[in-house]
Structure 1
Amino acid sequence: MTAPTTVTREQILAAVEAGEEATIELLQELIRTPSVNPWFGDPAEISGEAPVQAVFERRLRELGADEIDVWEPSADELAHRADGPGYYPGRDFTGRPNVVARFKGTDPDAPAFMIQGHCDVVSVGSLWTEDPFGGARKDGKIYGRGTVDMKGGMAAALGGLAALKAAGVRLRNDLIIASVADEEAGGMGTLALVDRGYVAPLGTIVPEATDLNIAPLCRGILWGEVVLHGRAGHIELEKKPWQEGGAVDAIAYGHRLLDAIRAKNAEWAADPVKNHRYLPIPCQIHVAQIDAGEYPTTYASRCAIRFNAQYLPGQKDAHGLGSVVKAELEELFTTFVTDDDWFTANPPTITWLVDADCGETPDTEAVVQRTLAHAREVGIASDLQGCMSHTDMGLMIDSGSPTINFGPGHMGVAHQADENVEEADLLAATKVFALTIADICG
């Protein structure tokens, strides 16, 4: 019997560097395959996830996946999870599949390790100076929608696996690589993944952009809309709401609510429950959209304010969601006016749009410490730092998999014009993925 060949760290890193151009080319191909989530953008821009998932599937087959599972999630089939995170009734996944590959290790009884990322991106927006789906390569950067969030991270992970294959590494444990749909609108693709039984007891890395830090924490995100009700009337006349037909200005209520939100944010900033040692800023209520009024000559009968608020694992409810914070916000929205009969008789309408869960992995877990060690080993000044936005890690943790976020790029560049990732960061992340997979998978 031939003795197994020992593959050194230096051989793995050399294979990563030899494959750098192939990793960049894969990222460019992913960028040039639009995958805008249907939640966002003009219908003409929305492409769905199927085209880019076909790219992932092809590359996973080229890397020698032993099993590949491709399916479109179903809201009806996931209805039994309606009380937990990631479920949104009626969401359509036609042309929006998940793709999962399994690379079998030499020990069929050993637990699995997983790389789990999403393939959807937000809409393009405006003010780009580069083609958002061009994958341009300039001055050491690669440009395009999704370079940071998170096609760059997935390209690095696949580049790391390719390097292990090239170096002749044989893994003892199974490696699962999953590319899911719909993360940008709440995580239902990941819900379908865990519902299908994909579990990684050894741990999971979500390749979100962390600026090459190790993130064992992400915040939960609430999207909602509060509609303030008024009564239209001629704007150049006196408002007499107590008279029949008198006007009530919904925009005036809007001004007062914005003041109340500012005051509440000041309270949250000083509240330990709204802060975490791995986050530089507290949870806040951010106003994202305002829509009010009909004509320049009319008091507004309606003022709609859409907002984004965050919460931490310490405020998750029994179902893993943000109902505690929802109740706190509902109280704010219904009590910021106390001296107005019209407001009392016509209270705000509150609609919850998204509740994307949070998650935290103890920093003593192997996936945290080993990934951090390998990052520092290759010369990255990595530290433990939480994600200020939502990622899919909460659902993975709930499934029984200690989970972290790690990837190239800064999340502050995501969702912006000229989104880009540094080639040097992409290479560094690829090295960390290769070493961490080899280490944790034995």
Structure 2
Amino acid sequence: MTTTPEQREVLDLVDTQFDDAVQLVRDLIDIPSVGPWFGDDAAVSGEGAVQAFLREHLEGLGAEIDEWEPSVDELAVHADGPGYFADRDFTGRPNIVGRIRSAADGSDSPALMFLGHCDVVPGGPGWTEGPFTSLLRDGRVIGRGACDMKGGMAAALAAIRAVRSSGVQLAGDLAFGSVTEEETGGMGTLALVHRGHRPELGIVIPEPTSLQVAPLCRGIIWGEITIPGKSGHIEIEQPHWQDGGAVDAIAYGRRLLEAIDALNARWRELPEKNHRHMPLPCQVNVAEIDAGTYPSAYAGSFTIRFDIQYLPAELDQHGGGGLVRAQIEEMLRAFAGDDPWLTEHPPVVTWLVDADCGETDDTHPLVIAPQTALGALGLEPVVQGVTSHTDMGLPIKAGVPTITFGPGQLSVAHQPDEYLDLDEFRTCIEAMVLIILDLCGVASADATSDPSTAVDAHA
């Protein structure tokens, strides 16, 4: 591995401080931070506590702090676009941004930001231990958020700490942001962009990518469709519904699922549903089915809830998934056709979440820098988009180049015994150190001897 003296000095500190970095992941996991959208969970509304912990950590790194509770009313100017939800309440759920200035006079220099979300999904059943008590086992740290995404946030903070404690003087500013409300739509990042945090050097979102460089993420739409039926005794011959008989909603539901299968088959062949950086086409994935009340009655309704992915090629004029929602509504009209029952009792589609997508050009320095860093560490870089949603889209629309790059396998996120591999965690910290030095730049060769720029390596 060929590195400069400044790079080598900081990389050596990654090793020295690694136990502290692992403890930081564990400390973050041990603070439950499930958002209130998920319902009555013992860990609901813990975001304020984890944000307070992060604030204290950032202040220890010498960062200037901007902390605020997003305002639904203030953000209503974005109501037609993705990321806005009028029913959210941010009381006790602040966003925080810490900025470490490179200039001695405290003035702004172009900044590089690491941006993460502090909220996690509920713990759920099936855990060996936890989910909000971290566990070290077999070279892994286990707990809710280890992978998504407290491990990535800890990696970024550890990289910042290594740079700061080395005394290397950067030419650009460093920023770290932690937002709420990512797992349920991205309103925290909408608030961050609206507040004016738009770092010139770009944003790295350390979501789990298994250290793949992701210049692209897909948008995600959640929705539900309900087909009305009419309950009646299932064991007897029923008259026509116009004569008071039952209507089996499950029979219509089977037809709807077949219509979705046919739609997915068409989508697999469409260019706008595929991308060179995506291993999978965009599809309608049915995740929940709710029908019927008891075995001896025809179902009076049939409801599905689903997840749809979309790409930047299909963004609507508001920067969201309106064109894709229209495609589903058209499919539903075709499904109902001239069926007499559905004509009088049409299926109802309800849209729940629209979390947008974004893409940064492959040639941008922000996309090149992590590839260069991985190469310097002896790894073959892989460029591949994130098949799920991250918070990339909103800052990209605001003119901020943004990528996703972090430790952990996305496939274990939201699962019991969610984990982070510690070897990969270490490599990610090292890569982030090199990204910082590359994009922010080193101000001068002798700045490392200036004690006023350094954070105590043993703090």
Same fold (TM over 0.5): yes
Who is 2:352 aligned against? 353
Q: Which residue identity does 1:414 align to in structure 2?
A: A
Consecutive aligned runs of 4 or more in structure 1 exceeding 4 Å deviation: none
* Shift of residue 170, structure 1, vs aligned partner: 1.5
Separation in 2, partners of 1:242, 1:147: 54
Q: Choose the corresponding residue for 2:84, options 82, 87, 91.
A: 87
* Shift of residue 380, structure 1, vs aligned partner: 2.8
Separation in 1, partners of 2:219, 2:242: 45
Deviates more, 1:110-119 or 1:187-196: 110-119
Trace 1:151-170 onto structure 2 (pairs within 5 A).
Answer: 151-170=150-169
Q: Choose the corresponding residue for 2:62, options 38, 49, 64.
A: 64
Separation in 2, partners of 1:19, 1:240: 76
Asked if the contact 2:93/2:180 (under 8 Å) is kept, the reply is yes
Separation in 2, partners of 1:240, 1:424: 67
Separation in 2, partners of 1:47, 1:135: 19
Asked if the contact 1:209/1:407 (under 8 Å) is kept, the reply is yes
Asked if the contact 1:220/1:358 (under 8 Å) is kept, the reply is yes
Who is 1:253 aligned against? 252
Who is 2:21 aligned against? 23
Calculate the TM-score normalised by the size of structure 1.
0.96
Q: Which residue identity does 2:204 align to in structure 1?
A: I
Deviates more, 1:106-115 or 1:312-321: 106-115
Asked if the contact 1:69/1:101 (under 8 Å) is kept, the reply is yes
Asked if the contact 1:41/1:123 (under 8 Å) is kept, the reply is no
Who is 1:296 aligned against? 295
Deviates more, 1:389-398 or 1:82-91: 82-91
Q: Which residue identity does 1:300 align to in structure 2?
A: A
* Shift of residue 41, structure 1, vs aligned partner: 4.9
Task: List gaps (5 residues or longer) in structure 1.
Answer: 1-5
Who is 1:388 aligned against? 387
Asked if the contact 2:108/2:173 (under 8 Å) is kept, the reply is no
SS of 1:146's partner is coil
* Shift of residue 110, structure 1, vs aligned partner: 3.0
CA offset digits 1:138-188 (Å, max 9, x no partner): 110000011111000000000000100121112221212100000000100
CA offset digits 1:106-138 (Å, max 9, x no partner): 283532211111000011122111211111011
Q: Choose the corresponding residue for 1:96, options 93, 96, 104.
A: 93
Who is 1:223 aligned against? 222
Who is 1:115 aligned against? 114
Trace 1:261-410 onto structure 2 (pairs within 5 A).
Answer: 261-338=260-337, 340-410=339-409
Alpha-carbon distance change, 379 to 239 in structure 1, aligned in 2, over 3 angstroms = farther
Asked if the contact 1:106/1:170 (under 8 Å) is kept, the reply is no
Calculate the TM-score normalised by the size of structure 2.
0.93
Asked if the contact 1:380/1:428 (under 8 Å) is kept, the reply is no
SS of 1:376's partner is helix
Who is 2:34 aligned against? 36
Separation in 2, partners of 1:427, 1:386: 22
Asked if the contact 2:45/2:93 (under 8 Å) is kept, the reply is no
Separation in 1, partners of 2:271, 2:7: 43
Q: Choose the corresponding residue for 1:106, options 103, 106, 124.
A: 103
Q: Which residue identity does 2:12 align to in structure 1?
A: A
Q: Which residue identity does 2:46 align to in structure 1?
A: G
Q: Which residue identity does 1:252 align to in structure 2?
A: A
CA offset digits 1:382-426 (Å, max 9, x no partner): 211000000000011112111000000010010111100100011
* Shift of residue 305, structure 1, vs aligned partner: 0.6
Asked if the contact 2:31/2:46 (under 8 Å) is kept, the reply is no
Asked if the contact 1:233/1:245 (under 8 Å) is kept, the reply is no
Q: Which residue identity does 1:104 align to in structure 2?
A: R
SS of 1:68's partner is strand
Separation in 1, partners of 2:108, 2:48: 33
Who is 1:49 aligned against? 47
CA RMSD of aligned residues (A): 1.4
Who is 1:3 aligned against? none
Alpha-carbon distance change, 41 to 414 in structure 1, aligned in 2, over 3 angstroms = farther
CA offset digits 1:194-237 (Å, max 9, x no partner): 11111112111000100001000000000001010111111112
Alpha-carbon distance change, 44 to 240 in structure 1, aligned in 2, over 3 angstroms = farther
* Shift of residue 339, structure 1, vs aligned partner: 5.1
Who is 1:239 aligned against? 238
Q: Which residue identity does 1:61 align to in structure 2?
A: E
* Shift of residue 242, structure 1, vs aligned partner: 4.0
Separation in 1, partners of 2:87, 2:286: 27
* Shift of residue 7, structure 1, vs aligned partner: 5.2
Asked if the contact 1:102/1:176 (under 8 Å) is kept, the reply is yes
Separation in 1, partners of 2:240, 2:199: 61
Q: Which residue identity does 1:64 align to in structure 2?
A: G
Q: Which residue identity does 1:26 align to in structure 2?
A: L
Separation in 1, partners of 2:239, 2:377: 71
* Shift of residue 272, structure 1, vs aligned partner: 1.6
Asked if the contact 1:200/1:400 (under 8 Å) is kept, the reply is no
SS of 1:78's partner is helix
CA offset digits 1:239-290 (Å, max 9, x no partner): 3334332111111111111111111111111222111110111111111111
Q: Which residue identity does 1:29 align to in structure 2?
A: D
Q: Which residue identity does 2:269 align to in structure 1?
A: A
Q: Which residue identity does 1:375 align to in structure 2?
A: L
Separation in 2, partners of 1:314, 1:141: 38
Asked if the contact 1:114/1:177 (under 8 Å) is kept, the reply is yes
